[in-house]
Amino acid sequence: MAATGGFTMPELIVVIMVSMILIGGSVTVMTANMKNEPRIAERTADVQGARVAMESLTRELRQGATVVSASGTQLSVITNVNSASCGGAASTEVRSCRVTYSCTSGTCTRRESNPDGSLPSPPQTVVQGIAAGSVFTYSPNSSTPAYVGVKLTFPAADGDDSISLSDGVTMRSVTVPSS
């Protein structure tokens, strides 16, 4: 009587080889995910920072009274800010100041100055890592006195995952300068 239970040597070798291939594939996938995690976390932080900047920017624009100048990469408005003096320390006092946003070389900055443009503060970085190109759109007309659109686009790191954030506001009490 011969024993019929158990595995033959070739069967064991095949099972071991298949197991090794599965384990190797799993380790490769896990290692790739671990390598991408810092890039994903950095990208998430950039986008979250852009959302906060977009919210702050649109809130400030909504309160604007005068559009001083507007182009695709720069927007200058007279608006209300909490400041002891334009470009000065923050306070509980609200005053009218010129706020200029400038977006070039992948970075948007904000600068306060007096309404006439004198005594500008140093530029403060609002958001960085954006794609070059038009960020602001401005379209004054009879039905919309001053609509300002803002679009921040973050280029794809590897060509397939670019992200765009868009928002816009109609300024509440605007006077449009004659060109």
Evaluate if residue 177 carries a pLDDT over 60: no
Q: What residues pair up with 60 in beta bridges, in sequence order?
A: none
Range of weakest confidence among 31-35, 36-40, 84-88, 163-167: 84-88
Q: Residue 143: what pLDDT?
A: 60
Burial class (CB in 10 A: 0-12, 13-18, 19+), 98: buried
| Banded model confidence at residue 39, pLDDT cuts 50, 70, 90 | confident
The beta strand positions in the chain, using DSSP E, are 66-70, 74-82, 94-104, 107-113, 124-128, 136-139, 147-154, 163-170
Nearest to 63 by CA among 74, 78, 51: 78
- Three-state DSSP at 90 gives coil
**Any idea which residue has 């006439």 for tokens?**
116
CA pseudo-torsion sign 151, 156, 157, 161: positive
Evaluate if residue 172 carries a pLDDT over 80: no
CA distances from 155 to 69, 89, 141, 142, 159 (A): 27, 35, 32, 35, 8
By the 8 A CB rule, do 170 and 144 touch? yes
| Banded model confidence at residue 20, pLDDT cuts 50, 70, 90 | very high
Looking at the domain assignment, is residue 40 inside a domain? Answer: yes
Residues 30-57 have a mean pLDDT of: 81
| Overall number of domains in the chain | 1
Looking at the domain assignment, is residue 28 inside a domain? Answer: no
Evaluate if residue 17 carries a pLDDT over 90: yes
Looking at the domain assignment, is residue 118 inside a domain? Answer: yes
Looking at the domain assignment, is residue 177 inside a domain? Answer: no
Give the percent of the chain with pLDDT over 90: 9
Q: Residue 19: what pLDDT?
A: 92
Evaluate if residue 57 carries a pLDDT over 70: yes
Q: Residue 96: what pLDDT?
A: 87
C-alpha span between 14 and 22 (Å, rounded):
12
Domain membership of residue 157 as a residue range:
34-170
Looking at the domain assignment, is residue 81 inside a domain? Answer: yes
Q: What is the pTM of this model?
A: 0.70
Residue type present at position 100: T
Looking at the domain assignment, is residue 23 inside a domain? Answer: no
Q: Assign residue 133 a region: left if phi > 0, alpha if psi is -120 to 50, beta otherwise? A: left
Residues 98-122 have a mean pLDDT of: 88
Q: Which two tokens stand for residue 174?
A: 């605007």
**44: part of which helix (H) or strand (E)?**
helix 9-62
Write out pLDDT tens, residues 63-97.
Answer: 888 888 888 889 998 888 887 777 677 777 788 88
Looking at the domain assignment, is residue 15 inside a domain? Answer: no
